[in-house]
Amino acid sequence: MKLSFRGWAGDVPLVAACLALTLFGVAMIYSAGVLNVPSPVVEGAWARQLVWLVLAMGVFTFTSHVQARWFEWAAFPAYSVAVVLLGATLVLGTGSGTAEGVGRWLQVGGIRFQPSELAKLATILALARLLATRDSPPSALKDLLAPSALVALPLGLVVLQPDLGTALAFVGILFAALFWAGTPASQLFLLASPGFALLLSFDTLIWSVYFMGLVLLVYLLRYRLYLVESVGVLLANLAAGTIAMPLWSSLADYQKNRLLVFLDPGLDPQGAGWNLIQSKVAIGSGGLLGKGFTQGTQKRLDFLPEQHTDFIFSVVGEELGFMGTTVVILLFAFVLVRLVRLAERVGDPFAGLVLFGIFGAWLVHIFINVGMTIGLVPITGIPLPFVSYGGTFLVMCWLSVALAVRVAGES
C-alpha cells in the first residue's frame, strides 16, 4: 500500500474540536466515577478511556495518511466484512449493555468490540461508493431501492440484537447521503412515509388524516411517480399502520416501558421512569453554572443510571450547568458545520458523500443522546460522540475523523 505523508493537520479546526471534546469526555468520565460509594467499574473508566484514546489517535494518525482512493476501493469489502460480523454477533454475541436478547459485542481473545460501530462506517463508505457512480442524482423512488437495501441489511441485523438506538444512526446515514446525492425532498418524504405511518398509527383518526394527506400528495406528484411507485408507497403506509399493534406486542417489556415512560415518566417512577426522572433532576439542579466539577449530588449518590456512558450529558448538566452544556453543544455544532463546509468544498462526489454520511451518523447520536436526557426523545441507549465512555465507539469516531480529513484533503 502506498502511503501519502501529507499531514493530517490540513484541517486543524475539525481535529482540534474533536480532540477538545474527547479530553473533556475523559474528564467527565473521571467525574462520573467520583461516588460516595465507590464503584470499580465506573471509578476506573477514565483510565481505560485514556488507553483507548491512545489507540484511537494511533489509528487516526495512520488512517489520515492513507490515500483516499484506497477507501473507495475497500468500501464494498469492508461492508461485506461488517455484515458478516453483525451476523456473527447474533450467534456469538456477549452481553453487557443489553437488557434482553443477544449481546452486542464480539470477543476475540482478550479484546471485545462492537461490530455495529464498524458497520456504520463501512455502510457510509459503501453507500458513498454506490451513489458516487451514478451519472445523475436519484430522481425516482426506484432509484432509491439499491441504496435503501444496502442500508437495510446492517440496520436489520442491528435491530435484531436488539439495539434500536444504533439502528437509528443507519437511518441518519441513509437520508444524509441521499440528500447530498441530490434526491428531491418529496422523494425523501415518500421514502420515510411508512415510518411516519407507523409512529402515527397509535391513533386511528390521526393516522387516517395522515394517510388521506399522503394520497393527495401522491396524486399531486403523479407526474413524477410511476404507477407502481404510487401504489407501492400507499401499500407500504397501509402495511405500516397494520403491523403497528403486532410490532408493539413483539417488543420486549423493557422496550415498551421506555416508550410508555417517555410519554409519562410518572407511570413507573421507581422502575422504567427512574432513569428519565433522575436525569432531568440532575440537569435541572445544575442551574446556570452547575454544582462544580465532581460535586454533582445526584451523580455522587449514584442516582444517575449509566452516568459514564449513555447519561454522561446529565453529569455535564449537573456539574457545569447551563453554561457547560451550551459550550458542549456549540462544540458539536461546530464539528457538524465543519463537516458540511468540507463537503461543500470537495469536488469528488465520493468524498462529499463520505463527509455527509459521517455528519448524518453523528447528528443522530448527538440529537438522541442529548434529547433522551432531557425527555425530548425516548431512552434508547446511544452514546454521545467523543464524550461517552466506550472503546470501540471512540476508536470509530476518530477513524471517522481520519476519513473526513483524508478525503477532504485530496479533493
CA separation for the pair 362, 19 (Å, rounded)? 15
Q: What confidence score (pLDDT) does residue 303 get?
A: 77
What pLDDT, on the 0 to 100 scale, is given for residue 8?
46
Helix runs in 6-92, H state only? 12-32, 40-43, 45-63, 68-92
What's the rounded Cα separation, in Å, for the pair 148 and 251?
A: 24
CA-based nearest residue to 124, from 191, 165, 71: 71
What pTM was computed for the model? 0.89
What amino acid occupies position 301? L
Sign of the dihedral through C-alpha 363, 369, 370, 375:
positive
Q: Torsion angle of alpha carbons 170, 175, 178, 184, nearest 10°?
A: 160
Predicted pLDDT of residue 377: 85
pLDDT, residue 314, reads 93
Q: Which residues does 53 contact at the CB level (< 8 Å), separation at least 6?
A: 22, 26, 394
Q: How far apart are CA 319 and CA 304, in angstroms?
A: 13
Residues of the chain with pLDDT under 70: 1-10, 95-102, 219-225, 251-252, 254-255, 263-272, 411
HSE-up of residue 224 (Cα within 13 Å, Cβ side) = 16
DSSP string, 158-177: HHTTT-HHHHHHHHHHHHHH
Structure confidence at residue 101 (pLDDT): 46
> In the beta sheet, which residues pair with residue 113?
106
CA atoms within 13 A on the CB side of 163: 27
Which grid cell sits at 177? 447521503
Q: Check residue 131 and give its pLDDT.
A: 94
Cα 394 to its chain centre, rounded Å, is 13
SS3 266: helix
Q: What is the per-residue pLDDT for 268?
A: 62
